[in-house]
Amino acid sequence: MGALDPPGDLRGQFNKSDKFLSYPIMGVAAYIKSVAPAQYHQYLIPKYDFGCKRLVLDPGYLESLHRPNVDMEWDPIARIVSDGIETKSGHKHQFDVIAFATGFDITSSVALDVTGINGQRLQEYYNREGGPTGYMGTTIPGFPNWFTILGPNTVTGHSSVIFAEELQMDYVTQLLRPILAGDVKGFMPRADSTRSWNEMAQSKLGKGVWSGCASWYRSGPDGAKGKNFAIWPGGNLHMWWSFRKPIWKDFEVLGDSSWLVKRRILDAFAILAQLGLVSVGVGALALVKMGQWDAFTKLAQEGLEEGLDWWRSQGSRSDANYLDLSIDNKRKTTNQRRRSHAIFKAHTRLNKNPARLRPLDFAERNGYIRGIVKEILHDSGRGAPLARVVFRDPYRYKLRSETFIATEGLHTGAFVYCGKKAALSVGNVLPVSQLPEGTIICNVEEHVGDRGALARTSGNYATVIGHSPEDNKTRIRLPSGAKKTVASNARATVGIVAGGGRIDKPLLKAGRAYHKFKAKRYNWPRTRGVAMNPVDHPHGGGNHQHIGKASTIARSAVPGQKVGLIAARRTGLLRGTVKVKET
The full set of domain ranges for the chain reads: 21-94, 122-255, 258-308, 362-494, 527-582
- Give the mean model confidence (pLDDT) for residues 536-552: 74
**For residue 490, pLDDT beyond 90:** yes
The better pLDDT of the pair 87, 105 is held by: 87
Element (H, E) at 281: helix 258-290
Q: Classify the C-alpha dihedral 183-186-191-195 as positive or negative.
A: positive
Enumerate the β-bridge partners of residue 86. Answer: 79, 92
The DSSP symbol for 118 reads G
The CATH number of the structural domain formed by 362-494 is 2.30.30.30
**For residue 140, pLDDT beyond 80:** yes
According to DSSP, the β-strands at 552-553 and 565-566 are parallel
Q: Classify the C-alpha dihedral 261-262-263-265 as positive or negative.
A: positive
Mind listing the pLDDT tens digit for each residue in 180-211? Answer: 888 889 999 999 999 999 999 888 888 777 77
Mind listing the pLDDT tens digit for each residue in 420-453? Answer: 999 999 999 999 999 999 999 999 999 999 999 9
Instruction: Report the residue count for the chain.
Output: 583
Tell the CATH superfamily of the 527-582 domain.
Ribosomal protein L2, domain 3 (4.10.950.10)
Q: How many other C-beta atoms lie within 10 A of the C-beta of residue 363?
A: 19
Helices (H) and strands (E) in the chain, counts: 13, 17
- Give the mean model confidence (pLDDT) for residues 403-418: 94
CA distance 368 to 325: 47
Look at residues 473, 493, 497 and name the one whose alpha carbon lies nearest to residue 483. 473
CA distance 57 to 46: 14
CA distance 505 to 509: 12
Question: What percent of the chain has pLDDT above 70?
Answer: 79
CA-to-CA dists, residue 578 to 32, 502, 507, 546, angstroms? 101, 12, 18, 21
**For residue 130, pLDDT beyond 90:** no
The pLDDT, as a whole number, for residue 566 is 77
pLDDT band at 336 (very low <50, low <70, confident <90, very high): very low
Mind listing the pLDDT tens digit for each residue in 21-69? Answer: 777 878 888 888 888 888 888 888 887 777 777 777 778 888 888 898 8
The pLDDT, as a whole number, for residue 319 is 42
Which residues fall within 8 angstroms of residue 410, CB to CB, at 6 or more apart? 373, 376, 387, 416, 426, 427, 495, 498
pLDDT band at 328 (very low <50, low <70, confident <90, very high): very low
The better pLDDT of the pair 10, 147 is held by: 147
The pLDDT, as a whole number, for residue 410 is 93
The pLDDT, as a whole number, for residue 503 is 55
The pLDDT, as a whole number, for residue 220 is 65
- Give the mean model confidence (pLDDT) for residues 463-481: 93
The better pLDDT of the pair 25, 356 is held by: 356
The pLDDT, as a whole number, for residue 337 is 43
CA-to-CA dists, residue 579 to 67, 131, 467, angstroms? 101, 84, 42
The pLDDT, as a whole number, for residue 329 is 41
Look at residues 493, 402, 510 and name the one whose alpha carbon lies nearest to residue 455. 493
The better pLDDT of the pair 159, 170 is held by: 170
How many Cα atoms sit within 13 Å of 454 on the Cβ side?
A: 28
Does residue 465 contact residue 478 with C-beta atoms inside 8 Å?
no
pLDDT band at 330 (very low <50, low <70, confident <90, very high): very low
Helix axes 236-243, 161-180, angle to 10 degrees: 10
User: Ranked by mean pLDDT, which of 109-118, 327-336, 373-382 comes out on top?
Assistant: 373-382
Q: Identity (one letter) of the amino acid at 323?
A: L
Tell the CATH superfamily of the 122-255 domain.
FAD/NAD(P)-binding domain (3.50.50.60)
Mind listing the pLDDT tens digit for each residue in 229-268? Answer: 888 888 888 899 999 999 988 999 888 878 888 888 888 8
Say which range, 116-125, 425-434, 528-537, has the weakest mean pLDDT: 528-537
3-state secondary structure of 154: coil
| 381 CB-contact burial (10 Å; exposed 0-12 / middle 13-18 / buried 19+) | exposed
Look at residues 304, 345, 310, 344 and name the one whose alpha carbon lies nearest to residue 327. 304
Average pLDDT over the chain, rounded to whole? 80
The pLDDT, as a whole number, for residue 325 is 42
pLDDT band at 540 (very low <50, low <70, confident <90, very high): confident
CA-to-CA dists, residue 438 to 7, 285, 474, angstroms? 70, 63, 12
CA-to-CA dists, residue 105 to 110, 242, 254, angstroms? 11, 28, 34
**For residue 297, pLDDT beyond 60:** yes
